[in-house]
Amino acid sequence: MDEITGGEALIRSLELEGVEVIFGLPGGAILPVYDPLLDSPIRHILVRHEQGAGHMAEGYAHVTGRPGVAMVTSGPGATNIVTPLCDAFMDSIPMVVITGQVPTKAIGSDAFQECDTTGITLSVTKHNFLVTSAEEIPWTIRAAFHIARTGRPGPVLVDVPKDVVDPKNPNSRMRWYWPDEVDLPGYKPTVQGHPRKIQEAAELISRSVRPVIYAGGGILKARASEALLELAELTGIPVVTTLMARGAFPDDHELALGMPGMHGNYTAVTAMQKCDLLIALGSRFDDRVTGNPATFARDAKVIHVDIDPAELGKVRTPDVPIVGDCRVVIEQLVEAIRKMGGRDCQPDRSEWMATIRDWQRRYPLRYEPSLPGEDLKPQFVIEQIRDHTPDDTIVSVGVGQHQMWASQYWRFRHPHTFVCSGGLGTMGFAIPAAIGAKVGRPDRMVWAIDGDGCFQMTAQELVTATCERIPIKVAVLNNAYLGMVRQWQELFYEERYSEVYLSPDIPDYVKWAEAMGCEAMRVETPEEVGPAIEKANEIDDRPVVVEFRVDTREKVYPMVPAGASNDDIILGPAISKGSEDHD
């Protein structure tokens, strides 16, 4: 065993975990780890703000399934990455964050740039560690990655005091070792579903005449898309995919109903309300999906599959709870149903499917196209980006109206192509997450669809993208407002628009993007949209920003008002008009 420093041990441990890239920003407390990084094959991407590092690590994890890694210094460096930690925690994103800390003897003394990082992040991480000696580093890093990617994935933080990594401090000397495995008493995620519950679920499915599969983000985390497709086709049961599950089931499949929830389409929302069996797979009955839980899917029995037992019964008491990995449990279900006769044991559901087809025909997503001289419709812009890019393009979004339109009007045919902040709803997510996604999948085209409000929060990371030659494409839907807030004020606050106006011209998005080294364009007419997207697609040596001037007045429909029943879904004028046309 060779003697090395704690800083060297940390970098060597990351290499042995297969880390290929770190997103980070150095500072005093973490400098001793940045020095050995110079001799490592690990790529480091220098961000302009620590929040960007965290979201880049998330974007990387979204598309690769591997833990994203971020490294920042103590104090404000650590607090700046709390938002990405919370975001990853709520969306079950595997991530390992390394933070510098003041020397062990200075902890608790209010030293310069000291903060209680483990205390602050305790409630927004799956687990966190405060390293107290150099010898702990290899085991701690091994354990951090194991926890981040097993069971319900999530963020893990490792806080490293400066003295245990500083080559000038004797506390940093250690004899190198690498643990073959980590034993964490009390941490043994259940992967296999209980055979009795699997059989109960299979029998319930085979008795249901109005079932719906409620696929959540857990499908993607478990790499269970193929298993889900097999289950749906074997049983002929339609599938809704939540915001976090977009892409888990192909939108062009005959059993695909699309997204449910507050801004889901009418058919997906109503099918869940009217079903007699809800097969919840890796979904958590979020309030954005259920609306008022007391009125949600009143007549439905529930099969709920989740690897986190704490999710079962948290919102809706399941008739058949199953703890386990989604992919494994679905495969068990498929096997059980095949033994019972497969498709032949399923009841006649033709009346249910006919009802669903009628809803789809009468209430499709719809918007009024812009008239000559009017601003662009954001839905039209998204459709054009969709139609002018490969169908495996990765789409990253911020949070707000543009996020919902992207989920509604894109056609997802591949898993892990929609990168989104769901649970926390973090504005400013799109740009850094797109950068991380492009680093993780350099072979794919990556578009960030952002709002003007979101763009202003983290756009500086385009400097990172330019300097690192990460050629993402960015569509800024500029409606001069915090659009979703404006929509709520219009619908629920009698059009009293309080503090939501941003200005269409300040900043000048083209000049700003050019100042950050990007190619930039402004688009104002429908005729310019397609050519601008084609031009952006052809540029592959730097980031591209396209500002689309879109209609301020446009709103996201359908909509279920917060706290209301899904039965009270508001279709919006264009969809209502379309349904009348069909009648």
User: How is 363-412 classified by DSSP, letter by letter?
Assistant: S----PPPPTTSPBPHHHHHHHHHHTS-TT-EEEE-SSHHHHHHHHHS--
Q: Are 161 and 189 in contact (CB under 8 A)?
A: no
- Nearby residues of 356 by Cβ (< 8 Å), 6 or more positions away: 238, 257, 267, 271
Sign of the alpha-carbon torsion through 24, 25, 30, 34? positive
Mean pLDDT confidence for 65-69:
98
**CA 294 vs CA 277, 284, 288, 458, 562: distances in Å:** 16, 15, 14, 39, 14
Catalytic residue among 262, 404, 427, 484: 484
Residue whose C-alpha is closest to residue 55's, from 466, 426, 443, 469: 426
Tens-digit pLDDT profile for residues 83-101:
999 999 999 999 999 999 9
Is 484 noted as a catalytic residue in this protein?
A: yes
Quote the CA–CA distance of 118 and 353 in Å, as a whole number.
51
Mean pLDDT confidence for 5-16:
98
Residue-level length of the chain: 583
Task: Please tell me the predicted confidence (pLDDT) of residue 30.
Answer: 98
Tens-digit pLDDT profile for residues 343-389:
999 999 999 999 999 999 999 999 999 988 899 999 999 999 999 99
What are the backbone angles phi and psi of residue 255, rounded to the nearest 5°? -95, 0
pTM for this model (two decimals): 0.97
Quote the CA–CA distance of 128 and 130 in Å, as a whole number.
7
Task: Please tell me the predicted confidence (pLDDT) of residue 575.
Answer: 84
Residue whose C-alpha is closest to residue 22's, from 48, 2, 46, 39: 46
Quote the CA–CA distance of 465 and 474 in Å, as a whole number.
11
Residue whose C-alpha is closest to residue 382's, from 401, 362, 399, 363: 401
Confidence bin at 581 (pLDDT 50/70/90): low
Q: Are 569 and 269 in contact (CB under 8 A)?
A: yes
Compute the chain's Rg from CA coordinates: 25
Indicate whether 309 pLDDT > 80. yes
Q: Which two tokens stand for residue 228?
A: 């889900």
Task: Please tell me the predicted confidence (pLDDT) of residue 1.
Answer: 62
Catalytic residue among 15, 112, 351, 511: 112
Q: Strand, coil or helix: what is 22? A: strand
Q: Are 102 and 73 in contact (CB under 8 A)?
A: no
Indicate whether 258 pLDDT > 80. yes
Catalytic residue among 113, 199, 360, 460: 113
Indicate whether 580 pLDDT > 90. no
Indicate whether 211 pLDDT > 70. yes
Residue 354: how many other CB atoms lie within 10 Å: 9
Mean pLDDT confidence for 213-239:
98
Give start and end residues of each alpha helix (H) in 44-92: 50-64, 76-79, 82-91
Quote the CA–CA distance of 279 and 203 in Å, as a whole number.
12
Mean pLDDT confidence for 408-415:
97
Task: Please tell me the predicted confidence (pLDDT) of residue 576.
Answer: 79
Mean pLDDT confidence for 453-481:
98
Quote the CA–CA distance of 583 and 575 in Å, as a whole number.
12
Indicate whether 37 pLDDT > 80. yes
Provide the strand spans (E) within 193-319.
211-215, 239-241, 256-258, 277-281, 301-306
**CA 491 vs CA 402, 405, 452: distances in Å:** 18, 18, 21
Is 50 noted as a catalytic residue in this protein?
A: yes
Task: Please tell me the predicted confidence (pLDDT) of residue 372.
Answer: 87
Confidence bin at 271 (pLDDT 50/70/90): very high
Task: Please tell me the predicted confidence (pLDDT) of residue 433.
Answer: 98
Indicate whether 583 pLDDT > 70. no
Indicate whether 578 pLDDT > 80. no
Tens-digit pLDDT profile for residues 49-61:
999 999 999 999 9
% of the chain at pLDDT higher than 90: 97
Catalytic residue among 8, 17, 23, 50: 50
Q: Which two tokens stand for residue 387?
A: 């139609």
What are the backbone angles phi and psi of residue 582, rounded to the nearest 5°? -65, -40
Is 101 noted as a catalytic residue in this protein?
A: no
Side-chain-facing half-sphere of 501: CA atoms under 13 Å = 6
CA–chain centroid gap for 179, Å, is 32
Q: Strand, coil or helix: what is 451? A: strand
Task: Please tell me the predicted confidence (pLDDT) of residue 582.
Answer: 60
Residue whose C-alpha is closest to residue 554's, from 499, 479, 449, 489: 479
Mean predicted lDDT score pLDDT of the chain = 97
Is 429 noted as a catalytic residue in this protein?
A: no
Q: Strand, coil or helix: what is 447? A: strand
Confidence bin at 2 (pLDDT 50/70/90): confident
Mean pLDDT confidence for 32-57:
98
Task: Please tell me the predicted confidence (pLDDT) of residue 236.
Answer: 97
Mean pLDDT confidence for 442-448:
98
Tens-digit pLDDT profile for residues 145-201:
999 999 999 999 999 999 999 999 999 999 999 999 899 999 999 999 999 999 999
Indicate whether 579 pLDDT > 90. no
The residues pairing with 128 across neighbouring beta strands, listed in sequence order, are 157
Give start and end residues of each alpha helix (H) in 296-387: 326-339, 350-362, 378-387
Indicate whether 577 pLDDT > 90. no
Residue whose C-alpha is closest to residue 88's, from 63, 115, 117, 59: 59
Catalytic residue among 71, 95, 136, 162: 162
